[in-house]
Amino acid sequence: MATDGEKKKAASTTKRTLHYYWQVTRKHFGLFSLLMVSTFLFVALLSYGNPYVMSLVVDKVSAGPVPSDQVFSVFGPFIFALIAINVCGQAASKLQDYAMYKLQIAASYDLATMSFDALCNQSMSFHSNRFGGTLVSQTAKFMSAYQLLLETITFPFLPVACSIIFTCAILAPRVPVYVAILMALLALYACVSYYMYKRILHLNEQAAGAQNHLSGELSDSVANILAVKTYGREDYERGLFDAANKDVVARDSKRMQASLTRGIVTACIAVTIMAAVSVFIAGGNAWYGITPGTLVMMFTYTYTVTNQFNFINNGLQRFNRAFGDASGMTAALDEPRLVADAPDAFDLEAREGAIDFAGIGFDYVDGGVKTRVFDGFDLHIPAGQRVGLVGASGAGKTTLTKLLLRLSDIQEGGIEIDGQNIADATQRSLRRQIAYVPQESLLFHRSVAENIAYGRPDATMEEIREAARRANALEFIERLPQGFDTVTGERGVKLSGGQRQRIAIARAILADCPILVLDEATSALDSESEKMVQDALEELMRGRTAVVVAHRLSTVAGLDRIVVLEGGRVVEDGPHAELIEAGGVYADLWNRQTGAYLD
């Protein structure tokens, strides 16, 4: 049984979902209005206009026989009215289809853009704690849920409202008692349906959450299929997937049982309504002098409105499913952006490339637990200096580069580039001043040329080739089946680790930014390739500020300066030769890696 907290959360999520959907609908209000008006006309003409004219025909026929030569003169106006009603009704139906399709297409574009922008502008902490496959699934469901809601409003719910209006307007002047009883029963039907709808809303959210988790498990296993196979863990992954799949079945079963219960209750009310209309139709003429035409209208209109109310049960079930499916992305859209541009953020331009970390305080939060990484951290890197960051794992090396890129925001102190506080600059302008090559190369499922030119899409083919040559990548690229047009596969899976890394380095070379950040950028290369790439990086770093994170100390030994981090603090700082002579932490690390001994 759901707790009050779960029900309140589901209701709050529903309101937020409607908020986002209304934002999109409001942009296309003309199409939305056209859809509503055409639906109103469609129901009015075909569901109510036809029976009304037919009731007049029945009354005319019941009044007495019409001579055969007077059929068209007597019934001609009715025939013309029926033809006109059906022509206009069908036109309204096609107009309804047009407005529906156009609105769904336009809204899907806007919702996809909204979701993409929200996910792309979220912090790395946000993405680190979520399955990529789950986010993709949530985005698809968020878009399809809007279409489901729109269709549900247009077909079951708007016709129900129209049916009530037309039934009251046409029958109330003729049989007010009957209309009063009918409306009371329909109100009871609507209240019971809504009450039961609210009771099971959270079940749909839970079912959608289970389905998203299932998608995430599948995505995680497929993305790491090599690890699954090489460790023979197919059965283990099958177990995780099966557990998630069984959770989906269990939650869908609960949703089904609740929906069936609601359907049985509302069906009983529908039977009661039809029993009431049967009594009135049977005795209407005898008790109240109701004409045959009006009796036909009573039955037809009551059957129509009751049938429409039957669809409400299905419509509410679709509402439940839609809001449940949309809940995951709604929560993601509501998630505060941990790294956001200031309202008056300026475009940063690194003229020289000097970097200053002043009084940095930073806590890493994982699972609600804070871990202090930096406390009052200071570091000055002059323009054009090549600095290596070394230290044991967890010392804060990579974290420092991520703070420089504003992939996470500091809690205390400030980071400046050429005296400009990066917190006051736009993230986009900041990152366009820094060429970043991480330990794991980041390649798209696109051509080699597109991957190299990613940081500078206007580059010519000659510039792309030159960047590849300087990164020692040209030779192997030209041996690929389609050369620079070869598609690398998802995350560059078609290439070796060293090849992927050299393409990533070529991308940084082509970007030609004033600041260069290398995070274990040569770790995947063999010794020969590393020497060639190091030569290319030496050329690239000349005249630029470079921050190089490395565990392999030979990578940083030739740099201008080496900063040794330990527990988020600078414990040693200086050129390679001085640190070796000092015999401290760096010298100890060097000796372990090279097997050398200090004199």
pLDDT tens figures, 119-143: 887 876 777 677 677 788 888 889 9
pLDDT at residue 526 tops 90: no
Residue 193, domain extent: 4-333
Same domain membership, residue 97 and residue 20: yes
Q: Is 529 in contact with 472 (CB distance < 8 Å)? A: yes
Q: Is 384 in contact with 543 (CB distance < 8 Å)? A: yes
Number of domains forming the structure of the chain: 2
Same domain membership, residue 204 and residue 86: yes
Q: Give the residue from 305, 333, 361 where a domain finishes.
A: 333
**pLDDT-based confidence at residue 4 (cuts at 50, 70, 90):** low
Residue 438 belongs to a domain = no
Residue 521 belongs to a domain = no
Q: Return the pLDDT at 462.
A: 94
Average pLDDT over residues 449-471: 90
**Domain of 318: which CATH number?**
1.20.1560.10
**pLDDT-based confidence at residue 237 (cuts at 50, 70, 90):** confident
Same domain membership, residue 114 and residue 197: yes
Residue 127 belongs to a domain = yes
The token pair that represents 267 in the structure block: 């069906």
Q: Return the pLDDT at 489.
A: 77
Provide the Cα torsion 220, 221, 224, 225; round to 10°: -160
Q: Return the pLDDT at 599.
A: 41
Same domain membership, residue 367 and residue 290: no
pLDDT at residue 457 tops 60: yes
Q: Return the pLDDT at 598.
A: 41
Residue 536 belongs to a domain = no
Same domain membership, residue 266 and residue 136: yes
Same domain membership, residue 242 and residue 381: no
Residue 450 belongs to a domain = no
Residue 449 belongs to a domain = no
Same domain membership, residue 300 and residue 359: no
Same domain membership, residue 366 and residue 323: no
Which of 4-18, 287-301, 335-349, 547-561 shows the lowest per-residue confidence on average (mean pLDDT)?
4-18
pLDDT at residue 241 tops 60: yes
Same domain membership, residue 363 and residue 310: no
Q: How far apart are CA 175 and CA 294, in angstroms?
A: 9
**pLDDT-based confidence at residue 553 (cuts at 50, 70, 90):** confident
In this predicted model, what pLDDT tens digit does every residue of 407-436 receive, in sequence order?
Answer: 888 899 999 999 999 999 998 899 889 988
Q: Is 115 in contact with 141 (CB distance < 8 Å)? A: no
- Cβ partners under 8 Å of residue 31, min gap 6: 99, 102, 103, 106
- Cβ partners under 8 Å of residue 341, min gap 6: 426, 427
Q: Is 124 in contact with 408 (CB distance < 8 Å)? A: yes
Regarding pTM above 0.85, the answer is: no
In this predicted model, what pLDDT tens digit does every residue of 20-68 receive, in sequence order?
Answer: 999 999 999 999 999 999 999 998 888 888 888 888 888 787 777 778 7
